[in-house]
């Protein structure tokens, strides 16, 4: 009786153990199918899904005659998937290093490193290592000739400026991160950058795309071409003239702007110091101070060129005629019940008409005309006249970073402001 009882006990124990194992398996299946199912499905989908952006080509920048000023060139990043390398392909590391002009040890390490430890101490599989960036088409063909499938070339675009420093401050540049940093590149970025395309697909166990079941493919849209009013011939002439003036007079900086009188189009805009757009990242060759577009960021008093504003306003309102006579030797003249001191004249010309005042650029003659306008038409009307020429406002020039000129409101004028504004002082552009 003892032996059969012992057997029954063992059978029962074994049955319980087997039952518990089945229960554990069933519980695990329930856990996987009900509790962890969403997370596992998401992980599986992520592992097999492919979403890849397709770069678009940035638009060109050309001058008024169609000459190329900025263009995006085809370049490739060449890299390797070490897990996909076959054993017999490891020996080609030396050939790859020779083509890419890098050390064989660098290629060998990339070929053999399949696992890396991240910052948290976790091991990560290495599926892509970049060996060389911005390679040309010839280099890519040499790599492809090795017939190593684990070596891949990824197309991208690099911005190039064929004329180097010509109109550098107008054109601007795209930085290393692909962001428009200044000039037309930045202001017109929405027109130039285009729209990236993308591929939505699945991949197999070796991480290769299954093109036959590609879900969606959207082609990239290249950027638009921007044509400037800048004329390269005029621009080069401006820059050469500015360089010659700098060599002769040794100024800290200089600006030349050439515009078309009838339309206001900017044909040339030169700054000194300047820089090479293809070396914008080099702090020695292109320091930030050289990259500043002084033509639109720096303010200064216009001086004598401003004198035509007061004179043209007085002529338009028929307060004067070309033959009106003024005494340009006076040191003070009456204005609204008080005497106002006249500015100095480097070349006193005595009693002359309006034609001579303009020709000789007389400070005292111009100031008297400006004071006449302000007294007869009102100081606010005089302020409006000046602003109608665009002073005190942004010029709307689309090179970016423009600082609008300064023009004091009549309410804030002091006792001598009226004797300074007509000749281009107390005003900035």
CATH code for the structural domain at 75-158:
3.90.1310.10
Close Cβ partners of 346 (under 8 Å, ≥ 6 residues apart): 363
Q: Is 307 exposed, middle or buried (0-12, 13-18, 19+ CB in 10 A)?
A: buried
> Which of 294, 296, 302, 299 lies closest to 252, judged by CA?
294
Mean pLDDT comparison of 44-48, 196-200, 398-402, highest-scoring range: 196-200
Confidence check: pLDDT of 87 > 80: yes
> What pLDDT sits at residue 216?
73
* Whole-number pLDDT of residue 214: 64
What fold characterizes domain 303-423? Beta-lactamase (3.40.710)
23 or 290, higher pLDDT: 290
Q: What span, in angstroms and rounded, lies between the C-alpha atoms of 332 and 15?
A: 123
% of residues, the chain, pLDDT over 70: 90
Q: Percent of the chain scored above 90 by pLDDT?
A: 47
For the ranges 12-16, 71-75, 139-143, the lowest mean pLDDT is seen at 12-16
pLDDT value of position 237 = 97
- Domain residue limits, the chain: 75-158, 303-423
Structure pTM? 0.75
Q: How far apart are CA 424 and CA 276, in angstroms?
A: 35
Q: Which residues of 48-62 are buried (b: 16+ CB within 10 A; e: fewer)?
A: eeeeeeebbbbbbbb
Q: What is the pLDDT of residues 91-105, one digit of tens each?
A: 888 999 999 999 989
Mean pLDDT of 242-253: 94
DSSP state of 342: P
When pLDDT is averaged across residues 226-241 and rounded to a whole number, the result is: 96
Q: Which two tokens stand for residue 310?
A: 């007061």
Cα–Cα dist 57/75, whole Å:
11
pLDDT band of residue 21 (cuts 50, 70, 90) is confident
The residue among 401 and 187 whose pLDDT is bigger is 187
Average pLDDT for 316-345: 91
DSSP letter for each residue of 132-158? EEEE-HHHHHHHHTT--TTEEEEEEEE
Question: What tokens does 140 get?
Answer: 């890519």
The pLDDT confidence band at residue 221, using thresholds 50, 70 and 90, is: very high
């Amino acid at each position: 009786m003892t032996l059969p009882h012992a057997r029954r006990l063992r059978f029962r124990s074994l049955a319980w153990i087997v039952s518990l194992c089945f229960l554990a398996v069933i519980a695990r299946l329930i856990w996987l199918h009900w509790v962890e199912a969403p997370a596992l499905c998401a992980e599986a989908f992520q592992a097999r899904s492919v979403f890849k952006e397709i770069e678009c080509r940035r638009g060109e920048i050309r001058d008024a005659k169609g000459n190329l000023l900025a263009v995006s060139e085809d370049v490739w990043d060449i890299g390797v998937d070490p897990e996909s390398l076959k054993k017999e392909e490891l020996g080609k590391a030396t050939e790859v290093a020779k083509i890419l002009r890098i050390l064989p040890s660098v290629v060998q390490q990339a070929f053999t490193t399949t696992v890396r430890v991240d910052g948290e101490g976790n091991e990560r599989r290495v599926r892509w290592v970049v060996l060389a960036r911005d390679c040309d088409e010839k280099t890519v063909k040499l790599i492809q000739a090795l017939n190593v499938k684990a070596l891949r070339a990824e197309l991208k675009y690099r911005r190039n400026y064929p004329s180097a420093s010509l109109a550098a401050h107008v054109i601007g540049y795209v930085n290393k991160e692909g962001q428009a940093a200044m000039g037309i590149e930045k202001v017109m970025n929405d027109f130039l950058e285009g729209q990236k395309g993308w591929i939505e697909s699945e991949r197999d166990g070796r991480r290769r795309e299954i093109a036959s079941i590609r879900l969606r493919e959207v082609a990239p849209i290249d950027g638009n071409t921007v044509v400037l009013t800048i004329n390269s011939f005029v621009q080069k002439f401006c820059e050469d003239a500015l360089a010659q003036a700098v060599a002769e007079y040794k100024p800290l900086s200089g600006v030349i702007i050439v515009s078309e009188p009838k339309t206001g189009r900017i044909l040339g805009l030169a700054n000194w110091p300047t820089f090479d757009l293809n070396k914008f990242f080099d702090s020695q060759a292109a320091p930030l101070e050289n990259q500043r577009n002084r033509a639109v960021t720096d303010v200064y008093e216009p001086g004598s060129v401003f004198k035509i504003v007061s004179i043209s306003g007085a002529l338009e309102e028929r307060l004067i005629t070309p033959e009106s006579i003024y005494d340009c030797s006076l040191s003070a003249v009456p204005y609204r019940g008080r005497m106002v001191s006249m500015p100095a004249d480097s070349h006193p010309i005595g009693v002359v008409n309006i034609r001579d005042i303009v020709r000789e650029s007389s400070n005292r003659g111009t100031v008297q005309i400006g004071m006449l306008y302000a007294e007869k038409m009102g100081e606010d009307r005089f302020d409006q006249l000046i602003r109608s020429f665009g002073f005190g406002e942004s010029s709307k020039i689309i090179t970016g970073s423009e600082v609008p000129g300064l023009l004091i409101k009549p309410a804030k004028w002091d006792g001598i402001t009226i004797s300074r504004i007509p000749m281009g002082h107390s005003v900035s552009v």
